[in-house]
Amino acid sequence: MKHHIQYSEVISQSYHEVEIIDEVFPLEKFAEICGHQPDWIIQLIEYDILPERATQHESPSFLQEDIQRVRKAYRLQRDFEASLPAVSVMLDLIDEVNMLRKRTTKHV
């Protein structure tokens, strides 16, 4: 099984830095980590709950940060018996509130 690691590299004449950003998981492994079926994960992409990171000929890939978003989506769907379109809207609103809170605390 292939594992990919996303990283950034800065090179100058006197400086060289490599920063590992995140491990990239293929669909099957990501679904296994999250405890869900790959089909459900694909639905999350279709409803813009998870970002589309695949090119035309690749299967979807996921980052560590996506695991938390899947968990939130599952809890919202389970706790509120919400459809995936409703979960998508709820997550967008939660993201917006969090962004506004961060912006507000910067100005205080």
pLDDT digits (tens, 9 = 90+) for 9-46: 667 677 666 655 567 889 999 999 999 999 999 999 99
Residue of 4, 51, 50, 9 lying closest to 23 (CA atoms): 4
pTM beyond 0.85: no
Residue of 81, 77, 60, 79 lying closest to 69 (CA atoms): 77
- CB within 8 Å of 69: residues ≥ 6 apart: 49, 50, 91
Indicate the fold that domain 4-107 takes in CATH.
Multidrug-efflux Transporter Regulator; Chain: A; Domain 2 (1.10.1660)
Binned at pLDDT 50, 70 and 90, residue 70 comes out as: very high
Rounded to an integer, the average pLDDT of 74-78 is: 97
Binned at pLDDT 50, 70 and 90, residue 52 comes out as: confident
